[in-house]
Amino acid sequence: MALHFDPAEFSARRARLDAALDAAGLDGLLMFAQESMYWLTGYDTFGFCFFQCLYVDTAGTTALLTRSADLRQAQHTSNIDDIRIWRDAAGATPAGQLKDMLSSLGTAGKRLGIEYESYGLTAANGRAVDAALDGFCTLEDASGLVTRLRAVKSPAELAYVRKAAELGDRAYEAALSQIGAGADEGDILAAMQGAIFAGGGDYPANEFIIGSGRDALLCRYKAGRRQLDPRDQITLEWAGVYRHYHAALMRTVCIGEATPRHLELHAAAAEALHEVEATIAPGRSAGDVYQAHARVMDKHGVEDHRLAACGYSLGAKFTPSWMDWPMFYDGNPWVLEPGMVMFAHMIIMDSTTGTAMCLGRTSLVTETGSEVLSRASLDLEVK
C-alpha cells in the first residue's frame, strides 16, 4: 500500500464530497478526472489515457472500472476495494460495461453527476457513455464539483506542497549552475529534472518550458534543443513536484549581459508580481488578481497582455497540464480562500525587440493574505 495520506484524511475528503453532492442534489458521481480519483482514494495512474471510471455515491459505494493493467495499480496505490476490469479485445464496449457495473450497484433511475470536462473522458467516450446510460439514469455535468473541493488544501497536502516548493528551488539552482555561453538546453533540462527526481519528486503534469534566443518568447515546451550564445536569453517555467503536488516557478535568465530592454521589462514584471501577490488574499476574486496584473502592464505599455490569464491554482495534477482552476483571468468571480495555492506568472514577450522577460512563483493563501513558497531571488540573473 502506497497511500500518501492517512485514513482520517481520506474520510474527511469523502465527507466534503458527500456534502457537495447533497448540496447539488446528486445521488452519486461518475469520476473521469484522474485528479478527482487521486484526491478521493489515492489512486495514482496514467491509465486514464484509456476508458476508466470511478463511481462513488452518498450511500458509501466506491467502485472502479478500468483495464487490467491498472488492477494492481489501484490495489497498491488506493483504498478502493471494488475494482472491475474491462478487457482489450476487438468489439470491447467499456461504456456498456460501465452500465452493467452501475446496474449491479442499484443506480437505475438515480441522478448522477459526471465529469465531462476531463482528459479522462474524450468526446468519443463521452458520447458512448451518454448512449449507454440513456434512459437508465439521469446525468448532470458536475465537472467542477471535485475541482472546487481540491482547490483548498489540507495541512497534510500543504506539507507536500512545501516539499514541492523546496524541489522547485533546487531545480533553479541546478539550472543556474549550468546556464552560460555555450551551454546546451538539454543539459540544463537534465539538471533541473534530475534535482527533482533525486529529491524524491515526480514528473511534472506538463513538460518544463525551456526556450532560448528567439524561442525565449515561447511559453510552451517543444522538441529540439539549442546551445546558448555568448549573448542570449533563456526562459524557463518549471515546477517542483512531490506526490503530484506542484509548486511552479518562472524566470528569464540573461547570458552575457542584460540589455536595457531586459532591465526595463524586469522592473515591470517585478512590480506586477508584487502587486499581484499583494492582491492574493482571502476574499479577493481571481478576477481582482487579474486586474492588479493588468493595471501594472498597462502602466508599462506592455502589449497583448489582456489576452491571457496571469496565473492559476496548483495542486495534485496529472498530464497533460499542471494548470488548475481557478485561473486569474478577466472577470473570474471565484473567491480566494485560505489553503489555496496560486501560481502567478508575469509573462512579457516583446516581439518588437525580441526580448523575453518572465517572472513567476507560487504563493499560499493564508488567513490574512498570502505567503510566497519559494526562497529563490526575483533578481534578474545574468550568467
Number of shown-chain residues binding its own copies (CB under 8 A): 89
Point out which span in 16-24, 302-310, 358-366, 367-375 binds its own copies (CB under 8 A).
Answer: 302-310
Regarding 125 and contact with its own copies (CB under 8 A), the answer is yes
Q: Is the peptide bond before 320 cis (omega within 30 degrees of 0)?
A: yes
Q: How many CB atoms lie within 10 A of CB 230?
A: 10
Q: How many CB atoms lie within 10 A of CB 11?
A: 11
Closer CB to its own copies, residue 18 or residue 162? 162
Considering the complex, what minimum distance in angstroms separates the CB of residue 366 from its own copies?
26
Regarding 321 and contact with its own copies (CB under 8 A), the answer is yes
Regarding 343 and contact with its own copies (CB under 8 A), the answer is no
Compose the 245-284 pattern: x for residues touching its own copies by CB under 8 A, - for all others.
----------------------------------------
CA–CA distances in Å: residue 72 to residues 1, 43, 44, 250, 263 = 10, 11, 11, 37, 54
Of 217, 23, 6, 206, nearest in space to 113 by CA: 23
- Considering only 222, 231, 299, 375, the residue that binds its own copies (CB under 8 A) is 222
Cβ distance 316 to 322 under 8 Å?
Answer: no
The C-alpha atoms of residue 361 and residue 243 are separated, in whole angstroms, by 19
The C-alpha atoms of residue 336 and residue 283 are separated, in whole angstroms, by 6
- Considering only 70, 166, 277, 288, the residue that binds its own copies (CB under 8 A) is 70
Closer CB to its own copies, residue 91 or residue 301? 91
Considering the complex, what minimum distance in angstroms separates the CB of residue 28 from its own copies?
18
Point out which span in 14-22, 276-284, 329-337, 357-365 binds its own copies (CB under 8 A).
Answer: 329-337
- Considering only 149, 158, 308, 335, the residue that binds its own copies (CB under 8 A) is 308
363 is written with which cell numbers? 504563493
Regarding 348 and contact with its own copies (CB under 8 A), the answer is no
- Considering only 14, 319, 338, 378, the residue that binds its own copies (CB under 8 A) is 319
The C-alpha atoms of residue 45 and residue 38 are separated, in whole angstroms, by 9
- Considering only 19, 134, 214, 337, the residue that binds its own copies (CB under 8 A) is 214
Closer CB to its own copies, residue 27 or residue 44? 44
Regarding 148 and contact with its own copies (CB under 8 A), the answer is no
- Considering only 22, 72, 173, 230, the residue that binds its own copies (CB under 8 A) is 72
- Considering only 79, 147, 252, 332, the residue that binds its own copies (CB under 8 A) is 332
Residue 237 sits at φ, ψ, to 5 deg, of: -130, 125
Residue 311 sits at φ, ψ, to 5 deg, of: 155, 180
Considering the complex, what minimum distance in angstroms separates the CB of residue 377 from its own copies?
25
The C-alpha atoms of residue 369 and residue 326 are separated, in whole angstroms, by 17
The C-alpha atoms of residue 120 and residue 131 are separated, in whole angstroms, by 17
Considering the complex, what minimum distance in angstroms separates the CB of residue 163 from its own copies?
11
Contacts of 234 (CB under 8 A, 6+ apart): 179, 185, 188, 210, 211, 212, 216, 228, 252, 253, 255
Regarding 69 and contact with its own copies (CB under 8 A), the answer is yes
CA–CA distances in Å: residue 225 to residues 161, 183, 188 = 30, 11, 10
Considering the complex, what minimum distance in angstroms separates the CB of residue 367 from its own copies?
27
Residue 44 sits at φ, ψ, to 5 deg, of: -130, 110
- Considering only 94, 113, 126, 168, the residue that binds its own copies (CB under 8 A) is 126
270 is written with which cell numbers? 517585478
